[in-house]
Structure 1
Amino acid sequence: MKRDEAGVAPDPVDARLGARLAELRAEHGWSLGELAERSGISRSTLSRAERAEISPTAALLNRLCAVYGRTMSQLLSEVEAEPAPVVRAADQQVWEDPASGFVRRSVSPPHGGLRGELVEGRLTAGADIAYDRPPVPGLEQHIWVREGALVVTAQDTDHRLAAGDCLRLRVWGPTRFSCPGPEDARYVLAVVRP
């Protein structure tokens, strides 16, 4: 197994994700430089992510998903085994972005051919994640807050959501998710591709 400079083996999910990112770039016939221009991510960061030397952040994955026309759930499901119709709670893929305090659980059984999916998100108090573009323009999102408070900014409008509130929107441009606290926010995100 490949190890980093400190002799530590990369996280298995990061290794599969890096390999899939490299495959996607090859499928499109792009060099690292071309992908860097399309995504706005440096060549060195792209190279390190493909080699699983770094764990990609939510913002970085969002930019790559936008370039490849995939949702984050689609991309993450592509690094999993053959999709099943049922995914038990213990087997649902959890991905964490320690830099932003974001934890993402893929609730729906992964399947690339379906348009809808459910995701559970958790943001730590004070966390703030900005996405510069949607992974797929016109993506429909339903955001249902289960615990805490969440502020979702889309089209220059702040939507302040409390436990039980649900926001529906189509995403065409930048969005921001922030948790004002004092407690963490837990929410369900239903995503429907156009």
Structure 2
Amino acid sequence: MRETDGSGISSVEAGLAARLGELRVERGWSLDELARRSGLSRSTLSRLERGELSPTAAQLGRLCTVHERTMSRLLLEVEEQPPQLVPAGRQTVWRDEASGFVRRSVSPPHPGLRAEIVEGVLDAGAVIAYGNPPVPGLEQHIWVLEGTLHLTVDATVHTAGPGDCLRFRLRGPSRFHCPGPDRVRYALMIVAP
């Protein structure tokens, strides 16, 4: 069950919409300028900032790149101060219904710490592609817990199954694909440079 603000959107979605608008204003960009930089339409950006539309993983990835933030860092900025102990019921969960992607911030970014842990779940057949990393050289470790993951990094496709771990520094585009027949669930550790 998700917490809502009374308008039917979750508190995370409402906070995310507000933060996206704040980031644009902090940089002194118009919607047109952000559209030019992100490749998203002005109307989509406006609807995202008003909370009328929930961003897809791809859209959020583009905005994170433009604003030079990891997705976890952006979602952290939506919350107050994260606790040291993060109970399962308080971990931020974000869903991209369009792509079949669910992202749980198991160990969110925290001041003074460089690593974070994310649980990702992709439905069978789902694909998530990111044009560029939000921070070049970002260290990532992906441990597949269930299913199969095809991950493209630096134009090389890696196939990982249960128990396999892929580690790398992300400097260019990446693509996550769950070939099926079942969903894939993985743990992603991100270490800031």
Q: Find out whether 1:29 has 2:28 as its counterpart.
A: yes
SS of aligned partner of 1:142: strand
Q: Report the CA distance between 1:2 and its aligned residue.
A: 8.9
SS of aligned partner of 1:99: coil
Q: Report the CA distance between 1:9 and its aligned residue.
A: 3.2
CA distance, structure 1, for counterparts of residue 5 and residue 122 of structure 2: 32
Aligned residues of 2:5 and 2:11 also touching (Cα < 8 A): no
Aligned residues of 2:109 and 2:115 also touching (Cα < 8 A): no
Residue type at the aligned position of 2:58 = A
Aligned position for 2:16 = 17
CA distance, structure 2, for counterparts of residue 185 and residue 47 of structure 1: 33
If the length of structure 2 is used for normalisation, what is the TM-score?
Answer: 0.94
CA distance, structure 1, for counterparts of residue 191 and residue 141 of structure 2: 9
Q: How many correspondences in the alignment?
A: 190
Residue type at the aligned position of 2:63 = L
Q: For residues 173-188 of structure 1, what are the structure 2 equivalents within 5 Å?
A: 173-188=172-187
CA distance, structure 2, for counterparts of residue 127 and residue 191 of structure 1: 22
Aligned position for 2:54 = 55
CA distance, structure 2, for counterparts of residue 70 and residue 107 of structure 1: 18
Aligned position for 1:118 = 117
If the length of structure 1 is used for normalisation, what is the TM-score?
Answer: 0.93
Q: Report the CA distance between 1:111 and its aligned residue.
A: 2.0
CA distance, structure 2, for counterparts of residue 56 and residue 190 of structure 1: 23
CA distance, structure 1, for counterparts of residue 183 and residue 54 of structure 2: 23
The Cα RMSD (Å) is 1.6
Q: Report the CA distance between 1:109 and its aligned residue.
A: 4.0
SS of aligned partner of 1:107: strand
CA distance, structure 2, for counterparts of residue 112 and residue 130 of structure 1: 28
Gaps of 5+ in 2: none
CA distance, structure 1, for counterparts of residue 80 and residue 5 of structure 2: 21
Aligned position for 2:97 = 98
CA distance, structure 1, for counterparts of residue 93 and residue 163 of structure 2: 23
Aligned position for 1:84 = 83
Deviations 1:26-63 (A, max 9, x none): 11111111111111111111110000000001111111
CA distance, structure 2, for counterparts of residue 114 and residue 25 of structure 1: 26
Residue type at the aligned position of 1:30 = W
Question: Structure 1 residues 112 and 18 mapped into 2: Cα distance closer, same or farther (>3 Å)?
Answer: farther
Aligned residues of 1:84 and 1:110 also touching (Cα < 8 A): no
CA distance, structure 2, for counterparts of residue 160 and residue 109 of structure 1: 27
CA distance, structure 1, for counterparts of residue 112 and residue 45 of structure 2: 27
Q: Find out whether 1:40 has 2:39 as its counterpart.
A: yes
